C-alpha cells in the first residue's frame, strides 16, 4: 500500500476548536467535563458530533448499544471499511481530551480528506463507542465489549446505576438506542488515538506513543459486612466495624500491587459506606478493587492473594465478606501490521516516538479481538487524567491526529 506523502497534515486549529466546542457540553466544576454515559449531556455531545459528521458528508449508523458509526464512502463500496474512533463519555471529574481526542481526531481526518479531495479505496468509519468509562454503569468499555461478544446485550441493558436506573432504559430515554445489530459490522482495521494518561511520553520528550500492548485489567467488587452501632456508646471490643475492615483490605491491595512493582498497580476508586452517617459504625462497605498489569499471571496472583487475605482480615474481625469479579480483560497485543503503520507514520512525519504499553483500558482493547487494531498516543501534562485539570498541547493533539490520519489513510489505500 502506498504511504501518504509527509506533507499530508490535518488542520490543527480546526481540531482544537472542535475539542473546545465539545468541551462546552457537560462542563465540570473545575474546567474539565462531566458528560457521563447516557445522560442528557451525553445526548447533547452525540448530537453535536452527528451534526459535524453530516456537515462533512458522512452518513450515520447507530447500533442497539448506541454506538455511532459515521461513514465516508470509499471508491470500492464492497471493501471493508477502516474504522477510527474512541469515546465521547467522560468521568464525573473528567478531562476535555480522554476519548474525545480520538473521536474528533477521526472526524478531522475526514475534514482534511474532503479539503484535499483525497479518495480512498476502503470506506472510513468514525466511531463513538458508548460507555467506555464504565463509571455510571460498570464495567468499562461496555459497548465495545458487547460488539466483541464479551457481554450479552441483554446483560448490558440491565446493568443498574447507583440510582437503580437501567442502562438500556437510559439509552432509550436520551433517544440514542439504534436498530442496528451490535457486532454485525465487519472491519478491515481499527485505529484509536488517545492521550497517554501517564507520564512517560512527556518525561521522555516524545511526541507519539506507538502502542504495542495494553495492560490487562481486573475489577473485583468486595462487600464487607459488620454491624451498625453508635460511634460514641459502643465499647471498642464490641464493634463490628466494616469501615475498618475495608481500610485493612485497601492496605492489603496496596501491599500486593507493590509486591509486583513496577509492573503492577492496584487501588480502589469506588467505595460506598453504609449508612454513611457521622455517628454510626459502618455496617456495610462496598468497594471495587482495580488491579492492572501487562502480565496475566501477575493479575491472577493479585486476585488470588486479595481473596485469601481479605477473608483472613474479615474472619479475624468477625466481619462478613463477599467477593465478585465485576469486570476485566486480559493483556492485549495489538496487530503488528497496524502498529507498523503507526510507527512508520510517526517516522515519515518526523515526530519523535517510542513503543508504549497502554496503562489504561480502551475500546481498542476489545476491538482487537474483532479486527487488526492499533493505537496512537500523545503526551498529557504531568501524565494526569481522570482529573478535570487534564491538559494537552495543541502541538501534541496535532501530531497525534497527523499520525492517526497517515495510518488510517495508508490502510484505507489512497486512490490516485
Ligand atoms: O478504566 C480505564 O482504563 C478506562 O479509562 N476506562
Ligand atoms: Mn478513554
Ligand atoms: Mn477514561
Q: How much is the average pLDDT of 194-207?
A: 98
CA of 67 to the centre of ligand 2 (A): 15
- Can you tell me which atom of ligand 1 is nearest the CA of 385? 5
Mutate to test the pocket of ligand 1, among 192, 362, 384 (most ligand atoms within 8 A of CB): 362
Mutate to test the pocket of ligand 1, among 102, 140, 289 (most ligand atoms within 8 A of CB): 140
Q: Is the pTM of this model over 0.75?
A: yes
pLDDT value for 193 = 98
Take atom 4 of ligand 1 and give the residue whose Cα is closest: 361
Q: How much is the average pLDDT of 387-400?
A: 98
- Can you tell me which atom of ligand 1 is nearest the CA of 359? 3
Take atom 1 of ligand 1 and give the residue whose Cα is closest: 361
Q: Which ligand is nearest to the CA of 360?
A: 1
- Can you tell me which atom of ligand 1 is nearest the CA of 98? 5
pLDDT (tens digit, 9 = 90+) per residue, 59-95?
999 999 999 999 999 999 899 999 999 999 999 999 9
CA of 139 to the centre of ligand 1 (A): 9
- Can you tell me which atom of ligand 1 is nearest the CA of 292? 3
CA of 243 to the centre of ligand 3 (A): 28
CA of 316 to the centre of ligand 3 (A): 37
Q: Which ligand is nearest to the CA of 292?
A: 1
CA of 399 to the centre of ligand 2 (A): 18
pLDDT (tens digit, 9 = 90+) per residue, 161-188?
999 999 999 999 999 999 999 999 999 9
Take atom 6 of ligand 1 and give the residue whose Cα is closest: 133
pLDDT value for 1 = 65
Q: Which residue has the cell 476485566?
A: 328
- Quote the Cα angle for 369-372-219, to 5°: 35
pLDDT (tens digit, 9 = 90+) per residue, 314-347?
999 999 999 999 999 999 999 999 999 999 999 9
- Can you tell me which atom of ligand 1 is nearest the CA of 360? 3
- Can you tell me which atom of ligand 1 is nearest the CA of 134? 6
**Is residue 410 pLDDT above 90, yes or no?**
yes
Protein residues with CB under 6 Å of any ligand 1 atom: 132-134, 140, 360-361
Q: Which residue has the cell 497502554?
A: 358
Amino acid at each position: 500500500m502506498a504511504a501518504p506523502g509527509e506533507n499530508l497534515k490535518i488542520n490543527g486549529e480546526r481540531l482544537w476548536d472542535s475539542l473546545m466546542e465539545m468541551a462546552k457540553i457537560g462542563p465540570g466544576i473545575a474546567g474539565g467535563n462531566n458528560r457521563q454515559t447516557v445522560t442528557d449531556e451525553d445526548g447533547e455531545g452525540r448530537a453535536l458530533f452527528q451534526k459535524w459528521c453530516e456537515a462533512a458528508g458522512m452518513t450515520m449508523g447507530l447500533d442497539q448499544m448506541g454506538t455511532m458509526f459515521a461513514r465516508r464512502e470509499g471508491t470500492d463500496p464492497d471493501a471493508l471499511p477502516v474504522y477510527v474512533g474512541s469515546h465521547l463519555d467522560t468521568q464525573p471529574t473528567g478531562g476535555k481530551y480522554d476519548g474525545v481526542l480520538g473521536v474528533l481526531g477521526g472526524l478531522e481526518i475526514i475534514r482534511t480528506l474532503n479539503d484535499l479531495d483525497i479518495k480512498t479505496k476502503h470506506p472510513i468509519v468514525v466511531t463513538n463507542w458508548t460507555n467506555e468509562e464504565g463509571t455510571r454503569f460498570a464495567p468499562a468499555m461496555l459497548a465495545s465489549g458487547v460488539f466483541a461478544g464479551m457481554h450479552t446485550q441483554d446483560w448490558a441493558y440491565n446493568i443498574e446505576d447507583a440510582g437503580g436506573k437501567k442502562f438500556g432504559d437510559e439509552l432509550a430515554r436520551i433517544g440514542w438506542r439504534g436498530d442496528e445489530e451490535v457486532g454485525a459490522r465487519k472491519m478491515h482495521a481499527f485505529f484509536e488515538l488517545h492521550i497517554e494518561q501517564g507520564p512517560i511520553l512527556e518525561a521522555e520528550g516524545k511526541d507519539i506513543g506507538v502502542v504495542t500492548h495494553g495492560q490487562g485489567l481486573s475489577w473485583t467488587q468486595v462487600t464487607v459486612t459488620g454491624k451498625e452501632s453508635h460511634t460514641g456508646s459502643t465499647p471498642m471490643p464490641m464493634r463490628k466495624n466494616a469501615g475498618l475492615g475495608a481500610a485493612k483490605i485497601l492496605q492489603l491491595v496496596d501491599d500486593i500491587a507493590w509486591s509486583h512493582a513496577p509492573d503492577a498497580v492496584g487501588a480502589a476508586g469506588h467505595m460506598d459506606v453504609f449508612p454513611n452517617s457521622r455517628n454510626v459504625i459502618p455496617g456495610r462497605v462496598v468497594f471495587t478493587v482495580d488491579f492492572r498489569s501487562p502480565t496475566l499471571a501477575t493479575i491472577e496472583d493479585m486476585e488470588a492473594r486479595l481473596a485469601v487475605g481479605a477473608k483472613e482480615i474479615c474472619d479475624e474481625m468477625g466481619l462478613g465478606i463477599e467477593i465478585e469479579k465485576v469486570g476485566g480483560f486480559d493483556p492485549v497485543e495489538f496487530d503488528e501490521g497496524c502498529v507498523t503503520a503507526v510507527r512508520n507514520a510517526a517516522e515519515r512525519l518526523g515526530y519523535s516516538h517510542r513503543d508504549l504499553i497502554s496503562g489504561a483500558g480502551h475500546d481498542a482493547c476489545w476491538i482487537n479481538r474483532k479486527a487488526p487494531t492499533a493505537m496512537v498516543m500523545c503526551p498529557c501534562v504531568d501524565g494526569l487524567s481522570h482529573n478535570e485539570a487534564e491538559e494537552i498541547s495543541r502541538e501534541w493533539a496535532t501530531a497525534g491526529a497527523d499520525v492517526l490520519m497517515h495510518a488510517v489513510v495508508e490502510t484505507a489505500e489512497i486512490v490516485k
